[in-house]
Chains A and B, each alone.
Chain A
Amino acid sequence: MAQNMINDERIMQEVIDAIVHTTGVEKDTITPDSSLVEDLGVLSLDFLDVNFRLEQVFGVKMARNFVLEHVEELFGEGMAIDENNEVTEKGVEILKMRLSEAAGDLEPGTPMDELPALVTPKTLAFAVKDIFSYLPEKSPAGADWKTEDGTRIVCSQTGEPAALPSGDEVVQNWLKSLQEEKQLF
């Protein structure tokens, strides 16, 4: 299937390489579940470098805004983050669904400043995979896809890069379908 043109191992390997390349963290200290902030000592601002590199490697656009910011943009201020800048109960529910085990211990009332600690190689790899899941079966030219350098998906006939939604659009789509299904807000 088109979605699996770049396998999970390759995505994880590129995520780890991006972390090594942009932050100087030793490769063998990184596991898929390492918290970038807590375990690897990465500054949350350095996430931007990691994301920027992933964008170049995979030809995608990573999300600029965090999932809870999207919740508030779509469903109203105060839904996910309260007036003390802490995560609400609904916010925790959303994060557990979005980040699965990475948000396992999260409690309502957690300060927003602590959320960057939830980012792991696994959550970054998931963000990339989620964008690739929107790859159509065929290219606009009606042809199959192929990969370039093993990481960029292009049309096998024209060489045009696949037009994929941005990470922000992907998160908003996810939230909208979640809302349709569960009426959380």
Chain B
Amino acid sequence: MSESDYKDKVALITGASRGIGAAVARRLARAGVNLVVNHREGRGRSGKLAEEVCREAESEGVRAIPVPADISSKKSVEELFSQAEEAFGRLDFLVLNAARAPFKPWEKLLERDLRLLVETNFLGNVFCMQQALPRLSRQGGAVVFVSSLGSRFFNQDYPLGTMKAAMESAVKYWAESYWKEGVSVNAVCAGLVKTDSFKTLRMIQPELENMPERFFLSPEEVADIIHYLIGPASRAICGQTLIADKGISNRLHWSTSSG
């Protein structure tokens, strides 16, 4: 795999102001990929964080722009992709990383929670795909969806897992439809990653505090897999979800001392 497979290409990463999204931005910038760093509009510091991610990327010699958009809005997604097109004139990679969800058990979800769950984590990703697929390069274009183990295992207070499962399924459909056109679609299913979301998970499941360190991944490790999945070395993989979890899903039991 050579640098030229990535250099001067353009990636749009949703939810890239922090966590896995920001790590992907840094990884791809190192490979020479220009970036559209999407973050959700709103109060707080996500705008500033996205600008920092872009500055860091530019220090690697690529171009990077922050674009705020809430992917749950179809109109905002349309604007996001037209801004990306205006800025770079091409699109090679899409990383569907953004997620937003209530952390509650199913029986306590209000209609508002359910709508948030579906509108951001399913419809939002579908809107992005609708905008991206006609634009993606037919020579090496690639999409990677960031999933989590909640897609296949019960996790108290983690209804997001059901949307991750729906998306893993959607990835197969898109992969089949676009394979012949030269666009690959795959997913990476990450285990326990220490990002901001982990802070929430830890509050709900205090026992995670005792989980042996060997089961935790860094956002950079997930970013490396995404770098692989958008590149030519993974060209035989179609519609799959790669599990990257340091082996935690291999087992029913673990001990606090040895793992």
Is A43 a contact of B45 with CB atoms below 8 Å?
yes
Interface of A is mostly: helix
Is B43 a contact of A45 with CB atoms below 8 Å?
no
Interface of B is mostly: helix
In the bound complex, CA of A65 to CA of B203 (Å): 11
Q: Does residue A48 face the partner (Cβ distance < 8 Å to B)?
A: yes
Q: Which residues of B contact A65 (CB under 8 A)?
A: 104
In the bound complex, CA of A114 to CA of B110 (Å): 20
Is B199 a contact of A41 with CB atoms below 8 Å?
no
Q: Out of B44, B104, B111, which one reaches A77, CB within 8 Å?
A: B111
Q: Does residue B42 face the partner (Cβ distance < 8 Å to A)?
A: yes
Could you tell me the distance in whole angstroms from the C-beta of B19 to the nearest C-beta in chain A? 10
In the bound complex, CA of A46 to CA of B46 (Å): 13
Q: Does residue B196 face the partner (Cβ distance < 8 Å to A)?
A: yes
In the bound complex, CA of A49 to CA of B202 (Å): 10
Is A45 a contact of B199 with CB atoms below 8 Å?
yes
Q: Which residues of A contact B204 (CB under 8 A)?
A: 64
In the bound complex, CA of A65 to CA of B113 (Å): 13
In the bound complex, CA of A52 to CA of B44 (Å): 21
In the bound complex, CA of A46 to CA of B18 (Å): 13
Kindly identify, within residues 66 to 116 of chain B, every residue whose CB is under 8 Å from any CB belonging to chain A: 103-104, 108, 110-112
Is B203 a contact of A48 with CB atoms below 8 Å?
yes
Could you tell me the distance in whole angstroms from the C-beta of B157 to the nearest C-beta in chain A? 8
Q: Does residue B200 face the partner (Cβ distance < 8 Å to A)?
A: yes
What is the interface size of chain B, counting residues whose CB is below 8 A from a CB of the partner?
16
Q: Does residue A26 face the partner (Cβ distance < 8 Å to B)?
A: no
Is A37 a contact of B44 with CB atoms below 8 Å?
yes
Is A52 a contact of B103 with CB atoms below 8 Å?
no
Q: Does residue A85 face the partner (Cβ distance < 8 Å to B)?
A: yes
Q: Does residue A72 face the partner (Cβ distance < 8 Å to B)?
A: yes
Q: Which residues of B contact A64 (CB under 8 A)?
A: 103, 203-204
Q: Does residue A3 face the partner (Cβ distance < 8 Å to B)?
A: no
Could you tell me the distance in whole angstroms from the C-beta of A80 to the nearest C-beta in chain B? 11
Q: Which residues of B contact A52 (CB under 8 A)?
A: 199, 202-203
In the bound complex, CA of A46 to CA of B45 (Å): 11
**Interface membership of chain B positions 165-177, coded 1 if the CB is closer than 8 angstroms to chain A and 0 otherwise:** 0000000000000
Is B203 a contact of A51 with CB atoms below 8 Å?
yes
Q: Which residues of B contact A113 (CB under 8 A)?
A: 42-43
A49 and B110 in contact, given A64-B103, A65-B104, A114-B43 (Cβ under 8 angstroms) = no
Is A49 a contact of B112 with CB atoms below 8 Å?
no
A77 and B112 in contact, given A41-B45, A44-B44, A64-B103 (Cβ under 8 angstroms) = yes
In the bound complex, CA of A85 to CA of B203 (Å): 25
**What is the interface of chain A, defined by CB distance below 8 A to chain B?**
37, 41, 43-46, 48-49, 51-52, 64-65, 72-73, 77, 81, 85, 113-114, 116-117
**What is the interface of chain B, defined by CB distance below 8 A to chain A?**
42-45, 103-104, 108, 110-112, 196, 199-200, 202-204
Name 13 extra pairs, CB < 8 A, besides A37-B44, A77-B111, A81-B112: A37-B43, A43-B44, A45-B199, A46-B199, A48-B203, A52-B199, A52-B202, A64-B204, A65-B104, A113-B42, A113-B43, A116-B43, A117-B43
